[in-house]
A and B are shown apart, each in its own frame.
Chain A
């Protein structure tokens, strides 16, 4: 099942709608990476609200997405991890270390905006008005 990917300005938003097989996850990874390159996106949000289980393959794939997106200049945020899924994940020993997470789409967008702002401030240097 293909995951719909929306382009919102400089961001890509992938909303997972239902349980995904390993093949679906791999396909999502490929699709996102391709689009990040094509649109020169600055941010990627993967919404996993609908996933009721996240196992090692899912976590590995999300980590791969984040890594590859970063190589192409985009920040990734995973949003919508359910409380029980989070609990099962940490018991399994999967922590998504190094990958940003946020509560939901709204928070994810706010996070990316903040990142973009901070990045542009760094690039522009100090404002003399301070």
Chain B
């Protein structure tokens, strides 16, 4: 499964060494912030899960208990720098709760909500009192958000989900593609859902990367479904010459996951059982 890279991409203009150090420092501050505000952030997350009508198969106490576990694991993953622990947990989580009637998209949804809760909290914290160094801090914020935002999730057999949020620059896009392709191979994935709901804008460079990712995934035998395509990004893709009718797109992540599950035969009986013998 994809692991978060240890080396942070260094912005071209800055001294790489100093940037690495300040990113590490920011991460430490971030972890401290998340630990300090553990109670209220977990509560907010659990609240938003309920408001979004996710995990309806679980009681509020159960939701809060799961939220606590995942939250603590998440902070630990940030601290130690590996997302493997979190992904392993997410996989266990889905294996435990899916038999109880919880849908795949709900699991993904709650992880995305956590990221959103943490991202907002982070923006909130750094907004106060850093007026002079706004530029630098914003750049570092974005780096931290990126650190938070892109593990490749496997919540079903042979189905990978890559939710992308925040700012994607060419270097990050490249890392994502490499991570995804490795994950396809490791997990023998047949379908990949790439969700770009959280991506505000995409220049033609990054749009090209997206197309390349779809094509490279196909070479590994996987079908890619792109979800959350905004009209603006659709326009960018058309401008760089992408034939959208060739790219499988679905409006939202939930729809994309349902389509993926259909392709994988989860909701429909496998062909072998339905085909009448000649």
B101 within 8 A of A: no
In the complex, what residue of chain A is closest to B218 when comparing beta carbons? A101
Q: Decide if A122 is an interface residue (CB 8 Å cutoff).
A: no
Residues of A close to B212: CB separation below 8 A: 87, 90-91
Q: Which B residues are CB-close (under 8 A) to A95?
A: 215, 219
Judged by DSSP, the binding face of B is helix
Which residues of B sit under 8 angstroms from A114, Cβ to Cβ?
271
A74 at the interface (CB under 8 A from B): no
Question: Which residues of chain A are near B188, meaning CB under 8 Å?
Answer: 103-104, 107
Instruction: Tell me which residues across on chain A come within 8 A of B275, comparing CB atoms.
Output: 117, 121
Measured between alpha carbons, how far is A104 from B219 in the docked complex, in Å? 11
**CA A81 – CA B217 in complex, angstroms?**
10
Q: How far is the CB of B264 from chain A (nearest CB, A)?
A: 13
The chain A residue with its CB closest to the CB of B219 is: A86
Among the stretches B20-28, B110-118, B179-187, the one at the interface with A is B179-187
A124 at the interface (CB under 8 A from B): yes
The reply to whether B185 and A83 form a contact with Cβ atoms under 8 Å apart is yes
A120, CB-defined interface residue at 8 Å: yes
**Which A20-58 residues sit within 8 Å CB-CB of chain B?**
none
The smallest beta-carbon distance between A20 and chain B, in angstroms, is: 18
B211 closest partner in A (C-beta): A90
Q: Does B177 contact A (CB under 8 A)?
A: yes
- Taking residues whose C-beta sits less than 8 angstroms from the other chain, chain B's interface range is 20 to 34
In the bound complex, residues from chain B placing their C-beta under 8 Å from that of A129 are: 276
CB-based contact B220/A84 at 8 Å: no
Q: Considering the complex, which residues of chain A in the window 75-130 have a beta carbon less than 8 Å from any beta carbon of chain B? A: 79, 81-84, 86-87, 89-91, 95-96, 101-104, 107, 114, 117, 120-121, 124, 127, 129-130
**Do B220 and A86 touch (CB < 8 A)?**
yes
Q: How far is the CB of A115 from chain B (nearest CB, A)?
A: 12
Minimum distance in angstroms from B61 CB to a CB of chain A: 42
Does chain A have a CB within 8 A of B255? no
- Asked if B182 and A83 sit within 8 Å, CB to CB, the answer is yes
Contact A87-B220, Cβ < 8 Å, known A103-B185, A103-B188, A127-B276: no
Cα distance A87–B177 in the bound complex, in angstroms: 8
Looking at the complex, which one of B190, B215, B222, B278 makes contact with A127 (CB distance below 8 Å)?
B278
A82 to B219, CA, bound (A): 9
With A86-B216, A90-B216, A95-B219 known, 17 other A-B pairs at CB within 8 A are A79-B221, A81-B220, A83-B178, A83-B181, A83-B184, A87-B178, A87-B181, A89-B219, A90-B219, A96-B219, A101-B220, A103-B184, A103-B221, A103-B222, A104-B188, A114-B271, A130-B276
The chain A residues found within 8 Å of chain B, CB to CB, are 79, 81-84, 86-87, 89-91, 95-96, 101-104, 107, 114, 117, 120-121, 124, 127, 129-130
Chain B positions near chain A (C-beta within 8 angstroms): 177-178, 181-182, 184-185, 188, 190, 212, 215-222, 271, 275-276, 278
- Can you pick out 26 interface pairs between chain A and chain B where the beta carbons lie within 8 Å of each other? A79-B221, A81-B220, A83-B181, A84-B178, A84-B181, A86-B181, A86-B219, A86-B220, A87-B177, A87-B181, A87-B216, A89-B219, A90-B212, A90-B215, A90-B219, A101-B219, A101-B220, A102-B221, A103-B184, A103-B188, A103-B190, A104-B188, A104-B221, A121-B275, A124-B278, A127-B278
